[in-house]
Chains A and B, each alone.
Chain A
Amino acid sequence: MDSGLSPQDKKDLDKFIKFFALKTVQVIVQARLGEKICTHSSSSPTGSDWFNLAIKDIPEVTHEAKKALAGQLPGIGRSMCVEISLKTSEGDSMELETWCLEMNEKCDKDIKVSYTVYNRLSVLLKSLLAITRVTPAYKLSRKQGHDYVILYRIYFGEVQLSGLGEGFQTVRVGVVGTPVGTVTLSCAYRTNLAFMSNRQFERSAPIMGIIVDHFVDPPCNSQRPANMGQPCNYRAPEDDDGPFAGVQDSQEVCTTSFSTSPPSQCVCTLSPSPSKLSKPLPLDSLQIPLAPGHVTHTLYASRLSYQPPALGGAAELSHPTANPNQVLHAGKEGGVVLAPAQPPHGADAHLTVEHAPNTPGSSGDDDGLSNSGYGRRDEGRRCASPSDPVESLNAFTRKIGAFVNKPSAQITAASLDLPFAAFAPRGLDSEENDPMVQPPDSPPCHSPLQASLHSQGSEGSGPQDDFVMIDFRPAFSKDDLLPMDLGTFYREFQNPPQLASLSLHISSQSMADDLDSLPEKLAVYEKNIDEFDAFVDMLQ
């Protein structure tokens, strides 16, 4: 097949195809990371941008692609494939698409390698850039994160499309003829995504059992290892016949985090966890005999976890579930947790009161974070409880906002800047918590008169649930002239009986009575109509 091709051309061609394969993998994987890609044009050639395109090289991806190729090039019968799959947080996974870089025998002998082939490969890469945004997996990958992640797997050998379900579609990205064969790039993508929803209902042991079985028995040709993000797991090939000799799975969890700094500073970390073998394996299965000509199956989880700079940029996460912990710490250190102002319960500066400790809402950050790893920080409610009356006096001047989410008992009129607002007890018994008397979402009272309406005449203890008055010693209130002092006066008249007209049940009763007695009253008035007329005349 090399007839007519000079050694230099052959060398160049091999180099072009090799780097084309590597760049193809980069483009595909980067398109599935879930982020928008941005690279810059440069008018002066840097010499390192293959095919005159600014395509970043993620080191892990290059490393794994090279491992998959194992020094070979895509050739006839030897295709390089990148498989994109989806894995849910429950562990279900599904193949979405397979990109294949193939070579067939159709040669174009007359084509110029260093120039035409190179330019056409460049155009093919641009086409790949465009097409990777068009297949259905792109939209899915942009939304990955909480519920699912997108994984990639590079393998070399025969194309496997069985995992794509029925009715998968194929799109051809393009072809480039070379003197040694025609390079073809295509994508087969799943159209039947309903599979996913069916499997979601089967969340139970059987699925996990099947996956466990996968790794007990060495998988044969037709069986595919599940993309489970399991620890590195190398297997020796079963036999040496044909290109499909045993399957070697090396599975790594690769978490790539991109900082928000310019593209040139993207930090990519690969944290395999080879030591965390979930199952003990026989020693011989841990060999890594990547003999040429054998199929190597490499499995990676590529998941972009984008963390805002506040959480420390390039976070190295060795395990997916480490994320929430990491974020949790960041949240505790740097997060904003509001401590709502403690409402003063004292009536005025001279009261000595004690505050029952405030109980609610110390759930804090812990409940807010799940395994998302994306730093959902719920603001915990922390309530300060003053430890001594002095603090309560100091707390007297604090005010509460109108719609602070607190139990209503803690919102007291004492927090308002009103003269005698503190003297308006606010016992809100349930039967008297009447919207007619007090609006449900009550902003702080704006007048003492309105505040007094809230006195519902409860006997005994103070109106607030957590307000217990121990002693009441008003200052400067002793008067030798009068037998009664301010304190006594206050105590006596603290719970006056409710005004009859303001008590609803009485008023409702009276209204009913009124209505009943109305005819009688009308009759009486009619009888005395002359008196009324005379009275009116007198006034005029």
Chain B
Amino acid sequence: MNCRSEVLEVTVEARQVEESMLALLHTILLHRSTGKFHYKKEGTYSIGTVGTLDIDCDFIDFTFVRVSSEELDRVIRRAVSEFKDALSNSGSDGMGQISLEFYQKKKSRWPFSDECIPWEVWSIKVNVVNLANEQERQICREKVGEKLGEKVINVVEVINRHEYLPKMPTQSEVDNVFDTSLKDVQPYLYKITFQITDSLGTSVSTTMRRLIKDTLAL
């Protein structure tokens, strides 16, 4: 099975990095989360309800919808915050990329650890610019808002192709497909990683690999 890979690219000001990343990651996760599964006898299950929340951005003229789950929001915010810090520490005109990867676990026999097989990877390339004056910033606010809107449309377009999705798992397999650690929603298993390239565009000067969702280590 091939992993689907999508790349989104945005150019933002430093202070807009956090919100733009949150907007896109949450939009993707909104589509890739379901309600909690409740398995019943005979292999049937029922699905909980997913609520949604409108979030207004402070530095961008944009509103996005995210899943109504504070736990999930915290996790994503933490990842984005680390990414933002890494970007700002790297240099003034940093470029970076944050990746959201959805994967499935495949149990292997001992002594081999479980495999993580990605089935969809979203890469968001970020290009940070510095603006000179307030007027430019105001224009940037609106422009980035429009761009994010276009990216949301792109995301929706990809998702609505209804390409490969993991099969709905049985109760024993559910942890191989879904992240069941949250109490109110159930996204597909995912991990967020990022890397920073410096402004010269050379190969990665500092590669920071941070796993927010662990693969099961031995």
Contact = CB atoms under 8 A, between A and B. Distances in A.
B27 A43 contact: no
A458 interface: no
B118 interface: no
Contacts of A119: 34
Contact of B160 (A39, A49, A173): A173
Interface in B104-121: none
Question: In the complex, which of the residues B56, B67, B149, B183 has the most CB atoms of chain A within 10 Å of its own CB atom?
Answer: B149
Contacts of B38: 43-45
A115 B54 CA distance: 28
Interface stretch (A125-133, A226-234, A530-538): A125-133
Question: In the complex, which of the residues A42, A127, A131, A134 has the most CB atoms of chain B within 10 Å of its own CB atom?
Answer: A134
Contacts of A122: 34
B48 A173 contact: no
Contacts of B184: 41-43
Given A45-B49, A130-B30, A39 B64 contact: no
Nearest to B145: A139
Interface stretch (B3-11, B125-133, B151-159, B169-177): B151-159
A282 B207 CA distance: 78
B65 A133 contact: yes
Nearest to B56: A36
Interface string B44-88: 001111111110100001011101110000000000000000000
Contacts of A45: 35, 38, 46-49
Question: In the complex, which of the residues B64, B67, B153 has the most CB atoms of chain A within 10 Å of its own CB atom?
Answer: B153
Contact of B68 (A40, A123, A171): A40
A40 B70 CA distance: 10
A134 B149 contact: yes
A140 to B, nearest CB: 12
B152 A131 contact: yes
Interface in A30-78: 36-46, 49, 52-54
Contacts of A127: 31, 156, 159-160
Interface residues of B, number: 37
B192 interface: no
Interface string A123-163: 11011011101110011001000000000000000000000
A49 B52 contact: no
A172 interface: yes
A204 to B, nearest CB: 33
Given A41-B69, A45-B38, A133-B64, A173 B49 contact: no
Contacts of B21: none
A426 to B, nearest CB: 47
Contacts of A42: 35, 48-49, 51, 184
A41 B48 contact: yes
Interface in B9-55: 27, 30-31, 34-36, 38, 46-54
B204 to A, nearest CB: 32
B31 A43 contact: no
A69 B189 CA distance: 40
Given A126-B30, A133-B65, A175-B160, A44 B54 contact: no
A52 B46 CA distance: 10
A131 B31 contact: no
B48 A43 contact: yes
Contact of B156 (A41, A43, A120, A173): A173
A44 B35 CA distance: 9
B152 A130 contact: yes
A134 B47 CA distance: 28
A54 B31 CA distance: 14
A41 B35 CA distance: 8
A174 interface: yes
Given A44-B38, A44-B48, A45-B35, A38 B156 contact: no
B95 interface: no
A41 B36 CA distance: 9
22 contacts: A39-B68, A40-B51, A41-B48, A41-B67, A43-B35, A43-B36, A43-B183, A44-B38, A44-B48, A45-B46, A53-B49, A54-B49, A127-B31, A127-B159, A129-B52, A130-B27, A133-B64, A133-B65, A134-B149, A172-B160, A173-B156, A174-B156
Given A41-B185, A133-B65, A172-B160, 8 more contacts: A41-B51, A42-B48, A42-B51, A43-B35, A43-B36, A43-B48, A45-B48, A127-B159
Interface of A: 36-46, 49, 52-54, 115, 119-120, 122-124, 126-127, 129-131, 133-135, 138-139, 142, 171-177
Give 8 closest A-B pairs by Cβ, nearest first: A174-B160, A39-B51, A36-B54, A134-B149, A54-B51, A41-B184, A43-B36, A41-B51
